[in-house]
Amino acid sequence: MSVLLKADGLAVTARLAGGDLRLLDDVDLEIRRGQIVGVVGESGSGKTTLARCVVGLLDRNVRVEHGSVTLAGDVVVAPGVDRTDRVRGSAVGMVFQDASRSLNPLMRVRTQLAEVLRRHVRDITRAEVRRRSLEVLEQMRIADPSRVLDSYPHQLSGGLRQRVAIALAVVTRPALVIADECTTALDVTTQTKVVGLFRTLVDELGIGLLFVTHDLMLASDLCDRITVMSGGRVVEAGDAASVLDRPQQDYTRRLLAAIPSWT
Amino acid sequence: MTEAVQKGVPGEAARRPRAPEPETPVLVVDDLVVEHRDRGTGQVFRAVDHVSLRIDAGESVAVVGESGSGKTTLAMAATALGPRGGGDIRLLGHSLSEISRTRLRRLRPEVQVVFQDPHGSLDPRQSVRSGLRELRTLQPERTSWIGDAELLGSVRLAPELLDRYPHQLSGGQAQRVCIARALLMRPRLIVADEPTSGLDVSVQADVLALLRQIRATTGAALLMISHDLAVVRSLCDVVHVMYRGRVVESGPCEQVFVTPENDYTRELLAAMPGARWRSRR
């Protein structure tokens, strides 16, 4: 499996009125094709900053100080370098927590999918747009894809909206998908379906998935590898089962101990 | 009122001299029906559909279910904070369909609610101290049993936080302030609606430990609304599983979670994250 995404010694700083604040400090991360890598941590750990840095969505006052992000061998982020606009939405898809905020409330799902396809797939025909829109909703295991295509976001349930948001992220067949707390607002039963869907997508399409979550248990169900973050640093990283079964760091042990026991 | 001014953490001091008779349940919900009418279309949606439950003094009862199952509507109706349709609710022995407004007002402090979003429950323009002062003005006798610093200590917050405003508190700190405000009233029933859903796991563990301690020391009953089965199992005696407005299964947590009888309960249990990790332990 070739390395798809590589973050190497990434250091990111925010300029605030009171001085500089280090958001990421010497962060390494690697994602291969067909792999789901979970980044877990509590609020303020830097997990979202890492996800946003990879796609060049950092705030204006935040900048990369050291290190780099490489996508399929090409440097896309480094100090003073931001080539993410070439890959964002095409080679890299993104899904965030609040699906309704990534969907345009004034457009039918059909129009939004078409817009994304036309922007990223050169010379795509109308027939091809129709075919791929329908196909991607079927991949999302949406039972009634034509109804969903004709719907506005507010006409869909939260679970369906999130699946449409994922569809928008993967319709361009990106090599890498970044999902930031994208199931947090969903009911557990819906969460299970969405998470299962990710596993299938990764296995079927051979994409890489960066799955950011505060939920260690969810990460343990879904991820192949887990990176635990705290205070902007990587505390521990490795194979999911070994990180959770034989944590090497106190912080990871404390996180696991805080989970209510189930017996 | 002859109550002496009592001091101390919620321990002996918090025990109520006017505790209900052991046989009087704190809450009895009998065949409750609550319907919401859509103002636009006029369509009626039955949020709570013939639900009955009972909470005895000191008991800890959970209502679980996913969004839209009616669990919050049930809790709000049961505490006279939300609409109530058919059926009856007896709060500390008083039927809410017969109770006078004056008596209901006097009953309110006995029931305290802790919501999911602590910052939404606190006045952003008031410091913690000034918020507590307001409660004390409203209920001088009921709240005189404990000082501000000591009250904050009982939820494991430093007294320095008294002068903070809500935006200067972390989510966990703000939720503890909400719990402290509830405790100040020495309630017989605490309703907690997803009290730890917005908190980090380590903070959640602290808040759960706090609720457990409050239960043990004050004898207050707890009605916990949650979608998190692990949280419920770690805190509650009895669980009611709601689905589309109905209670589909009820019983002691151990029984319902170990030998579920309803398909929806099984589905909820199967959807709990962490099955892989737990199975390896």
Note whether residue A9 is domain-resident.
yes
Of A51, B206, A57, the residue nearest B195 (C-alpha)? B206
Mutate to test the interface with B, among A36, A184, A188, A254 (most CBs of B within 10 A): A188
In angstroms, the Cα distances linking A237 to A116, A244, B117, B227 are: 34, 10, 32, 30
Note whether residue A251 is domain-resident.
yes
pLDDT in the model for residue B19: 56
pLDDT in the model for residue B2: 39
Query: Region A63-92: what's the mean pLDDT?
Result: 93
A30: enclosing H helix or E strand: strand A19-32
With b for 16 or more beta-carbon neighbours within 10 A and e for fewer, the A23-32 pattern comes to bbbebebbbb
Q: Which residues of B touch A258 (CB under 8 A)?
A: 201-202, 204-205
| pLDDT tens per residue, range B47-71 | 999 999 999 999 999 999 988 899 9
Look up residue B137 and give its two tokens. 């003005």
Closest-CA distance, A220 to chain B, in angstroms, reads 6
CATH number, position A25: 3.40.50.300
pLDDT in the model for residue B84: 82
Residue B233 CB contacts under 8 Å (≥ 6 apart), including other chains: A260, A262, B239, B253, B257
Of A233, A220, A201, A232, the residue nearest A262 (C-alpha)? A220
Residue A10 CB contacts under 8 Å (≥ 6 apart), including other chains: A24, A26, A27, A28, A29, A50, A53, A64, A66, A67, A68, A69, A77
Pairing of strands B27-37, B44-55: antiparallel
Phi, psi angle pair for A134, to nearest 5°? -65, -45
Average pLDDT, chain A: 93
Closest-CA distance, B233 to chain A, in angstroms, reads 7
Selected from 3.40.50.11540, 3.40.50.2300, 3.40.50.300, 3.40.1210.10, the CATH number assigned to the domain covering B26-280 reads 3.40.50.300
Contact A103, A164 (CB under 8 A): yes
Instruction: Look at residue A32 and tell me whether its pLDDT is greater than 90.
Output: yes
pLDDT in the model for residue A137: 94
Give the residue on B whose Cα is nearest the Cα of A216: B274
Q: Per-block average pLDDT, block size 10, for chain B (281 residues)?
A: 42 50 84 89 91 95 92 92 89 92 92 92 95 95 93 92 93 93 94 89 88 89 94 95 96 96 95 86 77
Q: Which residues of A touch B234 (CB under 8 A)?
A: 260-261
Q: Which residues of A touch B267 (CB under 8 A)?
A: 189
CB contact under 8 A, A188 and B66: yes
Bridge partners of A229, per DSSP, are A234
Is the CB of residue B273 less than 8 Å away from at least one CB of chain A? yes
Bridge partners of B240, per DSSP, are B63, B250
Is the CB of residue B13 less than 8 Å away from at least one CB of chain A? no
pLDDT in the model for residue B83: 85
Helices (H), chain A: 47-54, 99-102, 109-120, 126-139, 145-149, 158-170, 188-205, 216-222, 240-245, 250-257
Note whether residue A87 is domain-resident.
yes
In the block, tokens 């747009």 appear at A129
Q: Which residues of B touch A40 (CB under 8 A)?
A: none
- Compare CB distances from A189 to B271, B278, B281 and report the shortest one's residue: B271
CB contact under 8 A, A221 and B273: yes
Number of domains in chain A: 1
Query: Does the predicted interface ipTM exceed a cut of 0.90?
Result: no
Residue B173 C-beta-side C-alpha neighbours within 13 Å:
14
CB contact under 8 A, A187 and B270: no
| pLDDT tens per residue, range A37-46 | 999 999 889 9
Closest-CA distance, B23 to chain A, in angstroms, reads 31
pLDDT in the model for residue A1: 58
Is the CB of residue B231 less than 8 Å away from at least one CB of chain A? yes
Give the residue on B whose Cα is nearest the Cα of A44: B200
Q: A32 is in which domain, residue-wise?
A: 3-50+61-226+235-257
Is the CB of residue B275 less than 8 Å away from at least one CB of chain A? yes
SS3 B266: helix
A157: enclosing H helix or E strand: none
State percent of chain A over pLDDT 70: 100
Give the residue on A whose Cα is nearest the Cα of B267: A189
Mutate to test the interface with A, among B234, B272, B281 (most CBs of A within 10 A): B272
Give the residue on A whose Cα is nearest the Cα of B228: A188
- Compare CB distances from B230 to A221, A241, A262 and report the shortest one's residue: A262
- Compare CB distances from A192 to B204, B227, B271 and report the shortest one's residue: B271
Residue A259 C-beta-side C-alpha neighbours within 13 Å:
21
Closest-CA distance, B270 to chain A, in angstroms, reads 8
Instruction: Look at residue A222 and tell me whether its pLDDT is greater than 80.
Output: yes
Note whether residue A262 is domain-resident.
no
Closest-CA distance, B259 to chain A, in angstroms, reads 13
DSSP of B171-201: HHHHHHHHHHHHHHT--SEEEEESTTTTS-H
Bridge partners of A212, per DSSP, are A39, A180
Is the CB of residue B201 less than 8 Å away from at least one CB of chain A? yes
- Compare CB distances from B66 to A187, A218, A262 and report the shortest one's residue: A187
Mutate to test the interface with A, among B72, B194, B200, B229 (most CBs of A within 10 A): B200
Pick A42 or A101 by higher pLDDT. Answer: A42
**What is the interface size between A and B, counted as CB pairs within 8 Å?**
76
CB contact under 8 A, A259 and B274: yes
Mutate to test the interface with A, among B117, B201, B202, B269 (most CBs of A within 10 A): B201
pLDDT in the model for residue B9: 46
